[in-house]
Structure 1
Amino acid sequence: MKNEERVVIAGGGLAGLRAGERLRELGFRGEIVIVSAERHLPYHRPALSKEAINGELVASDLRLTISRELDAVWRLGTAATHLEPDRRVVGLPGGEELRYDGLIIATGVEPRHLAGAPRQDPRIHVLRTVDDAIAIKQAINSTQGLVVVVGGGLIGCEMAASVKTMGRDVAIVSRSSTLLGSAVGKNIADTVTEAHRVRGVRMAMGVKIRHWVRQAGGVAIHLSDGQVFFAAVVVIAVGASPSVAWLRGSGLVLEDGVLCEPTCHVVGGSDVVAAGDVARWPNLRFGGQPRRVEHWLNAVEMGRAAAENLLAGRENSRPFTPVPRFWTEQYGMRIQGSGLPAMGTDTTTLAGSQKDHRTITGFISDGRLVGMVGLDAPTAMIKLSTELWRQNRVTASGPQRRPPQHVPHTAAPQDAPRSVAPAQVAPAPAPVAAAPSRPRESVRFEAPRTRSVPTRSEQSQRFEAVRSEALRLENALLREAATRVEAARSDPGPTRTQFSDPVELPRLPRQQQESQPLPLPPSHAPVVRSRGQGRSLARTGPRARPR
């Protein structure tokens, strides 16, 4: 086996972490270097605007568990400065050059600047990192005046709700007439807006900021409707921009993120993939228009898919075609979304309750359900998700089979040439509408063995046991989904669902329920395309290198 191969992951967030773990699961034995501008190991970012602000969690509680199998070199506090794809080099501060055989771009996003805002003022904050959250919390605890949140999106609303639960006076300034805009539909947006208003949140909706006046006791914010808010603390939450400045001059397409093919391979790059918030790719399940998806679960799934396709090579890669999901919680109300609601040109009520505010809004495009958002309706969202998958099948994609698996074998003698038997590729099965997951067949590379495979360590055996259990659970869920689809076909029922009486469901702690690992699909032959030629790099299975 050759250990000099190196995969560089630019970005130390969730997408980069899951990509690195997936490389090891698939048997990559070379070096993994993770370059991160942050000085912290990966942490639970959705909690920054909620539990980290109101004090339910401290910074150490947010840290994500990192598998010991990852065995990566972490370059924390080191931002990538430039990329030279022709030389396969990532530039680092001080003129350092980091060579790679494969590159995963996962640098995420950075807070968008609000024109005219005096960002140099210590009372004006943005929220993206755990350090930002700590600074905001300290500023709130050390002042007594009004806290102004600029922005009425998911982060802005979560921030305002968290500050209000701390007993502080808070105001929201938004250019939209309702909170959350068109992201959740009018019914849910009106409910959320009213929830903030009845709790005493001061609302300035449909306005623009005309002037910022910095004074000794605070910052005066003059609005277009004549109102003036005198703020002790200001949090700007007006969206985010892809972190691509370090890629300028690389030859990659960087309009609204890193442009990728459906398989996550970066357009204009060789052996380069992208994942997470920074990646803009055509999801063939939803029309194939390149888009970015800034959701936590998408970072998990895309990081893993990008790692798989980097190892499989461009020709053998499968398109990444997820159904995105997101969530938010404010004042105990839980909002869950699925699909791409932004694609919808019309909305309809898929489910509703006559007793309370629970509802599900469907988003329609060309007569097809492309997204749905539910308010306090988790059970109904699960039931209706099958219909969302059914109406958005992948119609134009690359190969739908899994890349071949690799049978570990020992290295041949040094004087003998390395040889791998040709892959026997089985025909791809016909798509099954009842199961929206990817095909499960596997094809194996068979090669001669000169001696038995070494016994795995106890740690690797535990890892394999967890993997097997995840596969078993995944298969059970697929069978259940297939049963539901068949039942729906035989008895479609009404198009509008009425909820039953509320049922108290068991709830995991937030950090656990939103960081659950995904089921692991079967491993396949990890192959990295080498420079200038089509050789495959040697692998020996998912064992971690000795420490």
Structure 2
Amino acid sequence: MTSAATDRIAIVGTGLAGLSAAERLREIGWRGEITMIGEEPHRPYNRTPLSKQLLTGDRQPPELALNVYTELDAAWRLSTRALDLDVERRELLLPGGEQLPFDGLIIASGVEPRHLPGSPLHSDRVWMLRTLADARNIDAALARARHVAVIGGGFIGCEIACSARTRALDVTVIDVSPTLLHRSLGPALGAMIGDLHRDHGVRLHLGVGVRGWSEDKRGVTVLLDDGEQVRADAAVVGVGTVPRTDWLWHTGLDLSDGVLCAPTTHVMGTDGDPIDGITAAGDVARWPNLRFDDVPRRVEHWINAIEMGRHAADALLQGPQDASPFVPVPRFWSHQHGVRIQSVGMPGLGTDMTILDGDPARCRTVAGYTRPGPDGAPILVGAVALDSPRTLLAYRDRIGHPLATVPGRRQVAA
């Protein structure tokens, strides 16, 4: 071990990335002290079912606990919020003025829901989803509702709409983008998912924003930019997330969109060099995935949190000079109205989309997302499958390589 992380490692964040980092430390035989610091009162749990199985009743909160396959022997500081970080003194500031010294630090503080300007901050009819407590509140609100409005057409919004329809509720989805999942899938596949939702009874207001809100004893009214009003018993706002970096504001670190990291996941210092003994992982980390390019980005996916947490643990012990770059192929999945959506790579980097296999009209297809390489040849940067998991596997290993032109394939703008 060449890093400054020798005896005491603190992990800020008790989600999937933080837990994966702690497991990796023990898995490779590190025997020092591990302190897990998390705001929620719960041990690490699976957030993925919060917008799906938990709201449909298929799973209960006790079933969400994440399995631990290695004895962590960690000190758990739950219901505890990190307030500040002193990089030079290697100390965390905790509530009550407590100063927690560390030799190594892994930042995995995650994200929180983005607030929609103008939406009610404290209401028993308007909710945002991030934690188990949020999901319980939404579940209770849906139990009293007949019509729910969902603001946001990303994955969280679409999954909540599916769950509400499973409960036989009337559902309206509102989004400023012209299609659902616009940023993740592009216009063509996004339009297909929109048709899927319409076919299952979801009303869509797309390409229009929210102008205002009003509440009364009977429910909530959402006023749209085009003058239309959507009346509902409850509303769920899912318009994205923001990194949990407020506790790092006094450090001088680059927090413009999460914690800026080197390719190895080491946090970049104020001098522009990676900081030995401090790494970051999961949704809060912004790093350049050199498999694609040198632009730092955040990736908010389940598998990325696991893999990055493990890599951040290795990198912490190896040090900036010896650690390898973190170059994953991002993957994620979603189930909507019985259709399985899977993605590999980074489709959002593509400039063109090509149907590689299947029939889009039947929601059984694989689409490839490409961008021009140095010689102008299309480089495959991502692929998305609808109910075609085995076919998608054939393209996973091609990410980052030229995509040969296939006669008869239909190409559209991504």
Give the TM-score category using the shorter length: over 0.9
Q: Distance in 2 between matches of 1:173 and 1:121?
A: 19
State the match for 2:260 in structure 1. Answer: 259
TM-superposition CA deviations, 1:66-109 (whole Å, max 9, x none): 23521111111101000001110011111011100000000000
Does the 8 Å CA contact 1:323/1:389 hold for their aligned counterparts? Answer: no
SS of the residue corresponding to residue 182 of structure 2 reads coil
Counterparts in 2 of 1:196-345, with a 5 A limit? 196-268=197-269, 269-345=275-351
Does the 8 Å CA contact 1:352/1:496 hold for their aligned counterparts? Answer: no
Matching residue's letter, 2:224: L
State the match for 2:375 in structure 1. Answer: none
State the match for 1:478 in structure 2. Answer: none
Does the 8 Å CA contact 1:328/1:336 hold for their aligned counterparts? Answer: yes
TM-superposition CA deviations, 1:39-86 (whole Å, max 9, x none): 111111111100011110010111111235211111111010000011
1:322 to 1:139, Cα distance in 2 relative to 1, 3 A: same
TM-superposition CA deviations, 1:133-159 (whole Å, max 9, x none): 011001111x23310100000110000
Report whether the alignment pairs 1:117 with 2:119.
yes
1:329 to 1:496, Cα distance in 2 relative to 1, 3 A: farther
1:4 to 1:318, Cα distance in 2 relative to 1, 3 A: closer
Does the 8 Å CA contact 2:10/2:37 hold for their aligned counterparts? Answer: yes
Report whether the alignment pairs 1:69 with 2:75.
no
Q: Distance in 2 between matches of 1:133 and 1:4?
A: 39
Matching residue's letter, 1:148: A
Counterparts in 2 of 1:405-420, with a 5 A limit? none
TM-superposition CA deviations, 1:338-384 (whole Å, max 9, x none): 11111111111111238832111111111211111111110100011
State the match for 1:178 in structure 2. Answer: 179
Matching residue's letter, 2:225: S
TM-superposition CA deviations, 1:20-44 (whole Å, max 9, x none): 0101111110100000011111111
Does the 8 Å CA contact 2:105/2:278 hold for their aligned counterparts? Answer: yes
State the match for 2:412 in structure 1. Answer: none
Does the 8 Å CA contact 2:177/2:206 hold for their aligned counterparts? Answer: yes
State the match for 2:81 in structure 1. Answer: 79
1:318 to 1:495, Cα distance in 2 relative to 1, 3 A: farther
Does the 8 Å CA contact 1:18/1:303 hold for their aligned counterparts? Answer: yes
State the match for 1:526 in structure 2. Answer: none
State the match for 2:392 in structure 1. Answer: 381
Does the 8 Å CA contact 1:207/1:224 hold for their aligned counterparts? Answer: yes
Does the 8 Å CA contact 2:265/2:279 hold for their aligned counterparts? Answer: yes
Matching residue's letter, 1:133: A
Q: Which deviates more from structure 2 when the two are superposed, residues 143-152 or residues 130-139?
A: 143-152
TM-superposition CA deviations, 1:258-314 (whole Å, max 9, x none): 000000000013310000000000111101100000000000000000000100111
State the match for 1:350 in structure 2. Answer: 356
Q: Distance in 1 between matches of 2:219 and 2:360?
A: 46
**What is the CA-CA distance between 1:495 and the residue it aligns to?**
6.2
**What is the CA-CA distance between 1:187 and the residue it aligns to?**
3.2
TM-superposition CA deviations, 1:394-419 (whole Å, max 9, x none): xxxxxxxxxxxxxxxxxxxxxxxxxx
State the match for 1:158 in structure 2. Answer: 159
TM-superposition CA deviations, 1:304-337 (whole Å, max 9, x none): 0000010011111100001100111101100001
Matching residue's letter, 2:347: P
State the match for 1:140 in structure 2. Answer: 142
Identical counterparts, % of pairs: 47
Q: Distance in 2 between matches of 1:83 and 1:278?
A: 15
State the match for 2:188 in structure 1. Answer: 187
Report whether the alignment pairs 1:126 with 2:128.
yes
Does the 8 Å CA contact 1:350/1:496 hold for their aligned counterparts? Answer: no
**What is the CA-CA distance between 1:251 and the residue it aligns to?**
2.1
Which stretches in structure 1 are left out of the alignment for 5+ residues? 393-491, 498-547
SS of the residue corresponding to residue 39 of structure 1 reads coil
Does the 8 Å CA contact 2:380/2:400 hold for their aligned counterparts? Answer: no
Matching residue's letter, 2:40: E
State the match for 2:18 in structure 1. Answer: 16
Choose 1 or 2 for highest CA Rg: 1
Does the 8 Å CA contact 2:283/2:305 hold for their aligned counterparts? Answer: yes
Q: Distance in 2 between matches of 1:341 and 1:385?
A: 12
Q: Distance in 1 between matches of 2:406 and 2:38?
A: 51
Matching residue's letter, 2:391: A
Q: Distance in 2 between matches of 1:162 and 1:233?
A: 14
**What is the CA-CA distance between 1:226 and the residue it aligns to?**
2.2
Q: 1:26 aligns with which of 28, 33, 43?
A: 28
Q: Distance in 1 between matches of 2:145 and 2:330?
A: 40
Matching residue's letter, 1:131: A
Q: Distance in 2 between matches of 1:256 and 1:235?
A: 24
Matching residue's letter, 1:230: R
SS of the residue corresponding to residue 156 of structure 2 reads helix
Which stretches in structure 2 are left out of the alignment for 5+ residues? 270-274, 373-377, 410-414
Q: Which deviates more from structure 2 when the two are superposed, residues 67-76 or residues 346-355?
A: 346-355
State how many pairs are aligned.
396
State the match for 1:449 in structure 2. Answer: none
Point out the structure with the larger strand share.
2
1:266 to 1:215, Cα distance in 2 relative to 1, 3 A: same
SS of the residue corresponding to residue 185 of structure 1 reads helix
Q: Distance in 1 between matches of 2:6 and 2:259?
A: 28
TM-superposition CA deviations, 1:449-474 (whole Å, max 9, x none): xxxxxxxxxxxxxxxxxxxxxxxxxx
Matching residue's letter, 1:113: H
Does the 8 Å CA contact 2:342/2:386 hold for their aligned counterparts? Answer: yes
Instruction: Give the TM-score, by structure 2 length.
Output: 0.92
SS of the residue corresponding to residue 249 of structure 1 reads helix
**What is the CA-CA distance between 1:185 and the residue it aligns to?**
3.1
Q: Distance in 2 between matches of 1:40 and 1:372?
A: 36
Does the 8 Å CA contact 2:276/2:316 hold for their aligned counterparts? Answer: no
